[in-house]
Amino acid sequence: MLYAEKKKKDDIVGVQLYIVRKDMKDDPAGTLKKLKEGGYEYVEHAGYQNRKFYGYSPEDFKKLLSDTGLKMDSGHSGLNAGRWDKTKNDFTDEWKYTFDDAAKVGMKYVLSPGVDESVCKTMDDFKWYMDLFNKTGELAKKAGVTFGYHSESYEFDHMLDNTRLYDLLLKMTDPSLVAQQIDIGNMYAPGGRAMDYLTRYKGRFALMHVKDVKKKASGDGYESTPLGTGEVGVKQAIDFARDNGTKYFIIEEAPSQGQTALDSCIENLKIMKGWGF
């Protein structure tokens, strides 16, 4: 079967704007225009602060996206222990606004990248933290969006009761309240393998961060590399995920040596399109 024949009508390929964070800081409108010209239709933010997206109000950023011909269904905002006000026994207003503003800009998913390590040291703390995840899922639903978790690296090389934190997180969060965005690159160095999690928790991942890594020439650690040229097994993971419910494939591949961030984003999109997206 040709790659193009595998394409599903609802597959979505986007880019995580963290990769072009300097460009977005210097010139948000120009950067978005260049991404659109490079073939992107979707972006995922990593720039919400003080009720603004890259310095724009939700309404103004939504208009900027629309004027540029882009959509933004997802973005990252971290859930840490401080989001819960223990004196009020409720979430902080700032955390509540996060979901209201996400709805205003037209998002479908608010994703928390990584865990708050301060509440991952004991099982009691971790259970409390996972309860916060489920409560946040309920909060998000009231605003008309879905809360989710984006995997990083800490949760793959830290354990409680002889179980990886990521496995505990997947078991303790309610799938109807907390979506999952698996990052197939972040997990590699600490020992996580994409196909292991995609098969053991089949159908659990609505979104994926697509990236590849290879060993550094020095042999000390890993570095980014264009999709399909590293050790992650990106295409196998993507093909499996496409057949098992994953809809969003968000490219977050850091530039290789000599590349600009924008060039990296556009090159890796071409690779994905060659795989039938």
Nearest to 221 by CA among 153, 130, 269, 275: 153
Question: pLDDT of 78-107, one tens digit each?
Answer: 999 999 999 999 999 999 999 999 999 999
Q: For residue 8, what pLDDT is reported?
A: 55
CA distance 116 to 205: 21
In this structure, the number of other CB atoms found within 10 A of the CB of residue 128 comes to 13
Q: Among 32-36, 57-61, 160-164, 252-256, which is the least confidently predicted range?
A: 252-256
Pairing of strands 222-224, 213-215: antiparallel
Residue 76 has pLDDT above 90, yes or no: yes
Mark out the alpha helices in the chain (DSSP H runs): 21-26, 28-37, 58-68, 93-105, 123-143, 165-172, 194-200, 234-242, 261-274
What crossing angle do the helices spanning 28-37 and 58-68 adopt, rounded to 10°? 30
Nearest to 202 by CA among 187, 182, 172, 186: 182
Give the mean pLDDT of 262-269: 97
Q: How is residue 154 written in tokens?
A: 């800490």
Q: Among 8-12, 108-112, 123-127, 182-186, which is the least confidently predicted range?
A: 8-12
In this structure, the number of other CB atoms found within 10 A of the CB of residue 20 comes to 24
For tokens 């997180």, the residue is 169
Q: List CB contacts of 46: < 8 A, sequence separation 6 or more.
A: 16, 17, 18, 21, 75, 76, 113
SS3 content of the chain, % helix, strand, coil (to 5): 40, 20, 40
134 neighbors 173 (Cβ within 8 angstroms):
yes
Residue 5 has pLDDT above 70, yes or no: no
What crossing angle do the helices spanning 123-143 and 93-105 adopt, rounded to 10°? 40
Question: pLDDT of 111-158, one tens digit each?
Answer: 999 999 999 999 999 999 999 999 999 999 999 999 999 999 999 999
For tokens 């933010």, the residue is 45
Amino acid at 173: T
CATH 1.10.3720.10 is right for the domain spanning 9-274? no
Helix (H, G, I), strand (E, B) or coil at 36: helix
Helix (H, G, I), strand (E, B) or coil at 2: coil
Helix (H, G, I), strand (E, B) or coil at 70: coil
Q: List CB contacts of 106: < 8 A, sequence separation 6 or more.
A: 62, 65, 71, 72, 73
What crossing angle do the helices spanning 165-172 and 123-143 adopt, rounded to 10°? 50
Which pTM was predicted?
0.95
